Structure 1
C-alpha cells in the first residue's frame, strides 16, 4: 500500500490519542516527512524487540533526527510518542 497522506498512515499503525494531531502538524509544516515517519513506524514494527528498552514493554527507536516511543504487544505495537529534532 502506498502512503499518500496522514490518513493512510493512521490506517496502518496504531497511534495514541493526541499523537495524530501532532503528526498532522508535522506534515503540514513539511510534507517530505511522510515517508520518513512511515519508515520509522515500519522499522518499529519489524524490529520491535531490537530497539532500546525504556520500561518493561516500552521501547525507543531512533532514525536520523527522528525517534518514536512505542509499546510492544504480542501481535502489534502502539506508538505513544514521536519526536523530530
Structure 2
C-alpha cells in the first residue's frame, strides 16, 4: 500500500507531492507573533495557490511541507480546540 498524507478522502500520494515544485523566491513566509525575534527555532507559513506551505525557520532553503487549504483549516481548528495540548 502506498503512503498517503492528509485526513480527508481526497488524499494525495506522497510521490506526487515530492514532484511538486515551489518557487521559494515568490513566497512570503511569515512567523507567528509568539516567536521571539531573536529565535530561529520557529515554523514559517506561506500560501502557494491552493496550498499552505510550512517550513522550518532554521532551514529556509529546505523544501517546505505542503497542505491543502482543507487540511490546514482542520489543523487550525484542532489547535484552537486545544486538541494538540500535550
Category of TM-score, reference length = shorter chain: 0.3 to 0.5
Q: Which has the higher helix share?
A: 1
TM-score by length of 2: 0.38
Which structure: larger Rg? 2
